[in-house]
Amino acid sequence: MVSAGDFRNGLTIEMDNQVYQIIEFQHVKPGKGAAFVRTKLRNIKNGGIVEKTFRPTEKYPQAHIERSDMQYLYSDGGLYHFMNVDTYDQIALGEDLVGDALKFVKENEMVKMLSHGGQVFAIEPPLFVELVVTHTEPGFKGDTATGASKPAVVETGVTVQVPLFVDTGDKIQIDTRTGEYMKRV
């Protein structure tokens, strides 16, 4: 059991027969009245965001989230196929469950599959990926005074903003959480 006074970002709790992950929390001590904890929670099953306040003494059971390493094999129509590299078990997930978590992930790369009670609810891509730029316009000399950027299409088909010195064929590192260019590899 976790008391509301011990809430932290990323913690998962069970409440009202649902599993919620704490996105934001704030301990509030008003001048008059009792202290409370203001939180923003995300329902891990359906993705809905809820704002709720708790008394610091309220207790909730901590939800156990299983994270398993899976290899992304391929997509077939509306299904995405994954394989456990230890047991060779394969699982197929629909587009609605995967969302755009795989927009920076190539086939045969490892991802984390998040599940609760045996039910998969999300896919976590690696934090950083290295992809080849398949198309970008050339940068012009003298345009770098303002730290300008230009759009570039990477091998997964996604467009990212890159500095002007990046050319077609360059391998770049991308932060999958924000979709930002990190460095040229």
Domains 2-60 and 128-184 share a fold: no
74-107 pLDDT tens trace: 888 888 899 988 888 888 888 877 777 788 888 8
| Residue 19 · residue 25 · CB < 8 Å | no
145-159 pLDDT tens trace: 667 788 889 888 889
Where along the chain do its domains lie?
2-60, 66-124, 128-184
The fold of the 66-124 domain, in CATH, is OB fold (Dihydrolipoamide Acetyltransferase, E2P) (2.40.50)
This prediction's pTM: 0.68
The fold of the 2-60 domain, in CATH, is SH3 type barrels. (2.30.30)
- Number of other CB atoms surrounding residue 113 within 10 Å: 19
Strands of the 18-28 sheet, one edge to the other: 12-15, 18-28, 36-43, 49-54
Whole-number percent of the chain with pLDDT over 70: 96
The fold of the 128-184 domain, in CATH, is OB fold (Dihydrolipoamide Acetyltransferase, E2P) (2.40.50)
| Residue 38 · residue 23 · CB < 8 Å | no
